[in-house]
């Protein structure tokens, strides 16, 4: 999938996250999280795996995490990417 | 038969609620993609619920998903995303006639073929929630072998009737009775509507007691705090169990004497009384309240 426009998904509720994606020539991942110190590497790994799975290679991905589990991170990213790639 | 006393709705777009599902003590959960999800979040809820179902592998309860009504543009995508994550079944809103259930049955069969699942894997709980639905529910209950229970939905039903819903529920009496008839005649379970005031446990208890008397086997819930009250009402009381055991002993004596009817403390015990006692004992065994082995010979007599 290809990011054609800016799009968001998710909420700022506990156990959720907000994802904003927009077009970019590079792949940039920016993470802000309530549990950044302990879990940034795991969050980044989950984001990278989801992007790979969706075939996304470029774009600016901003995450504002409120302690979401992997399944929620993957779902919110997929939603944002699908919204951003709609024709 | 599986216990379905409590079927708890959990909004499909709230991770904080979804991931608590494993600890809720409801018999089943219905992840809601319909009324709890605003239109612009349908896509998000679908993917979140799908991922949650995949993540929740070691399930300790039945998982249903309430999809959007089949006549909306969301239902097809709901099924396409959700079914591969293997819920136990679908709660079908606005099951106003048997044809709607038949349509879902066909869609489920197509997915089962695609996913290499046994045909009939996905169950259906149709929601009877309009005047039309109530009128047609006798046929709707028999529309598919996948149906495990009929559900009554009073919020939409009262809306379709242009009446208010009250806490005592007199306005629901006829509809509830008809839904129970339809379910019993079709040999499936029957789940009552939600009770929306989560702070009024007394009224919840009163309503649950009423619907149990009418024949309902369970209730839909909106809050995990309601589970305990509902389980408590559906659990047979110690007196009911004691009486049922006595009925069984009495009928055993009757059979030994070569008759099918006997008096127990001045009350007649015959076949229908024994059938009801057997149901109470089965429930008590299912709830882990007693150990008891029921024999068909005692219940029905030797052939």
Option in A72, A79, A82 nearest B15 (CB) = A72
The pLDDT assigned to B1 comes to: 67
**DSSP summary character for residue B292:** -
Q: Which residue's entry shows tokens 């009925």?
A: B247
List b or e across B50-62, with b for residues whose CB sees 16 or more CB atoms inside 10 angstroms. Answer: bbbbebbeeeebb
Contacts for B24 with CB less than 8 Å, ≥ 6 apart: B8, B10, B61, B224, B227
Cα distance between residue B144 and residue B148, in whole Å: 9
B15, A83: Cβ pair inside 8 Å? no
Chain B's closest residue to A14, CA to CA, is B16
**Structure confidence by residue, pLDDT tens digits, A12-58:** 999 999 999 999 999 999 999 988 899 999 999 999 999 999 999 99
Chain B partners within 8 Å of A69 (Cβ): 15, 19, 55
Rounded to the nearest 10 degrees, what angle do helices B75-82 and B42-55 cross at? 20
The pLDDT assigned to B257 comes to: 87
Tell me the shortest Cα–Cα distance from A39 to chain B, in angstroms.
Answer: 18
Cα distance between residue B275 and residue A29, in whole Å: 66
Spans of all domains in chain A: 7-85
Helix (H, G, I), strand (E, B) or coil at B12: coil
Q: Which residue's entry shows tokens 């006829």?
A: B174
A71, B52: Cβ pair inside 8 Å? yes
The pLDDT assigned to B297 comes to: 79
The pLDDT assigned to B286 comes to: 80
Helix (H, G, I), strand (E, B) or coil at A22: strand
Q: Would you identify the CATH topology of the domain B6-234?
A: TIM Barrel (3.20.20)
How many other CB atoms are found less than 10 A from the CB of residue B287?
15
State both tokens at B22: 């494993």
Q: For the whole model, what pTM was predicted?
A: 0.91
Cα distance between residue B147 and residue B188, in whole Å: 7
Chain A's closest residue to B41, CA to CA, is A9
Tell me the shortest Cα–Cα distance from B156 to chain A, in angstroms.
Answer: 29
E strands, chain B, are 6-11, 28-32, 62-66, 89-92, 123-128, 149-152, 189-192, 218-221, 262-264, 267-269
* Contact call for residues B46 and B54 (beta carbons, < 8 A): no
E strands, B80-148, are 89-92, 123-128
A7-85 under CATH 3.60.15.10, yes or no: no
Tell me the shortest Cα–Cα distance from A77 to chain B, in angstroms.
Answer: 10
Cα distance between residue B207 and residue A67, in whole Å: 39
How many other CB atoms are found less than 10 A from the CB of residue B119?
11
Complex ipTM tops 0.95: yes
Query: Which helix (H) or strand (E) is A8 found in, with range?
Result: strand A7-10
Q: Which residues of B touch A (CB under 8 A)?
A: 14-16, 19, 43-44, 47-48, 50-52, 54-55
Chain B's closest residue to A82, CA to CA, is B43
- Largest CA-CA distance found in chain B, in angstroms, rounded: 71
| pLDDT mean values, one per 10 residues, chain B (303 residues) | 91 97 96 97 98 95 98 97 98 98 98 97 98 98 98 97 94 98 97 96 97 96 97 91 92 87 90 91 86 83 74
A75, B51: Cβ pair inside 8 Å? yes
Q: Does A53 touch chain B (CB under 8 A)?
A: no
Helix (H, G, I), strand (E, B) or coil at A20: strand
* Contact call for residues B37 and B13 (beta carbons, < 8 A): yes
A16, B14: Cβ pair inside 8 Å? yes
* Contact call for residues B294 and B277 (beta carbons, < 8 A): no
The pLDDT assigned to B298 comes to: 78
B267-269 and B89-92 as β-strands: parallel, antiparallel, unpaired? unpaired
State both tokens at B196: 């929306």
Spans of all domains in chain B: 6-234, 238-300
B52, A83: Cβ pair inside 8 Å? no
């Amino acid at each position: 999938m290809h990011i054609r426009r800016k799009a968001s998904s998710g909420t700022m509720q506990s156990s959720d996250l907000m994802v904003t994606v927009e077009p970019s020539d590079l792949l940039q991942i920016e993470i802000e999280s309530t549990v950044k110190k302990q879990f940034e590497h795991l969050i980044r790994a989950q984001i990278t795996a989801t992007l790979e799975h969706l075939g996304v290679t470029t774009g600016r991905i901003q995450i504002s995490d409120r302690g979401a589990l992997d399944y929620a991170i993957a779902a919110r990213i997929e939603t944002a990417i699908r919204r951003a790639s709609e024709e | 038969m599986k216990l379905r006393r409590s079927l708890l709705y959990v909004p499909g777009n709230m991770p904080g609620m979804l991931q608590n599902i494993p600890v809720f003590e409801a018999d089943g959960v219905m992840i809601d993609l319909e009324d709890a999800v605003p239109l612009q979040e349908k896509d998000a809820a679908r993917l979140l619920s799908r991922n949650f179902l995949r993540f929740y592998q070691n399930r300790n309860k039945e998982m249903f998903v309430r999809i959007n009504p089949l006549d909306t543009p969301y239902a097809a995508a709901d099924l396409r995303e959700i079914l591969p994550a293997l819920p136990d079944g679908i709660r079908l809103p606005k099951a106003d006639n048997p044809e709607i259930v038949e349509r879902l049955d066909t869609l489920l069969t197509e997915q089962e073929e695609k996913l290499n699942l046994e045909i009939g894997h996905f169950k259906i709980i149709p929601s009877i929630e309009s005047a039309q639905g109530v009128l047609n529910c006798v046929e709707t209950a028999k529309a598919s072998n996948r149906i495990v229970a009929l559900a009554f939905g009073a919020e939409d039903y009262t809306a379709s009737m242009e009446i208010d819903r009250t806490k005592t529920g007199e306005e629901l009496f006829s509809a509830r009775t008809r839904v129970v008839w339809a379910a019993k005649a079709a040999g499936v379970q029957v789940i009552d509507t939600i009770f929306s005031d989560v702070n009024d446990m007394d009224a919840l208890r009163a309503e649950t007691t009423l619907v149990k008397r009418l024949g309902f086997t369970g209730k839909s819930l909106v809050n995990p705090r309601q589970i305990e009250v509902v389980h408590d009402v559906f659990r047979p009381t110690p007196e009911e169990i004691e009486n049922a055991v006595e009925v069984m002993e009495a009928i055993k004596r009757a059979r030994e004497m070569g008759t099918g009817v006997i008096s127990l403390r001045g009350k007649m015990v015959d076949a229908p009384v024994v059938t009801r006692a057997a149901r109470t004992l089965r429930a008590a065994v299912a709830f882990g309240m007693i150990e008891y082995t029921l024999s068909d010979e005692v219940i029905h007599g030797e052939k």
